Amino acid sequence: MSYIKRIIEEDLQEKLSASGAVLIKGPKSCGKTETAKQFAKSLLEMDRDKQVPVMMATNPQLLLAGATPRLIDEWQEQPEIWNYVRQYLNLDPKEIVKWAGGPIAVIDAFGLLNDNQIRRYFELGCEVKALGRGHLSRLKREVREK
């Protein structure tokens, strides 16, 4: 059976570009996973990957590694994964630069920083690098031209 386009897709795309994570909720078998797969560049199946419990007990941050957007399917199997997602997303660029004592080089290895966070790092004089984020040059240019 082929995928059926959903009304929510435009809204989902907008949310993904503005935030590092989006939670999709709905009743069983309504197409949440299939819709998310249309946007995801990598997939973690929390209920099927036998390594998930081991990694959650030893190094849960590794579960976030992967091309973004990253679909974390059946997260309710290991709800504490959200603690690590939130930890990463809630880092305030201004506070981080303050703690470091000045501008820093930011390597967004997990690709979870949104465009506003990246712009803020540029505004603070930082350098930002990320895998598969070809639009960083454009964001940097926009900040510098202000």
pLDDT per residue of the chain (146 residues) written in tens, 0 to 9: 788 898 889 888 888 776 667 888 888 888 899 999 999 988 999 999 999 999 999 999 889 888 778 899 999 999 999 888 877 677 789 988 888 888 988 877 666 778 888 899 999 999 988 766 577 888 888 998 98
CA distance 71 to 41: 8
- Which tokens go with 89? 């997303």
Report if pTM > 0.85. Answer: no
- Cβ-proximal residues to 92 (8 Å cutoff; 6+ apart), any chain: none
CA distance 96 to 73: 30
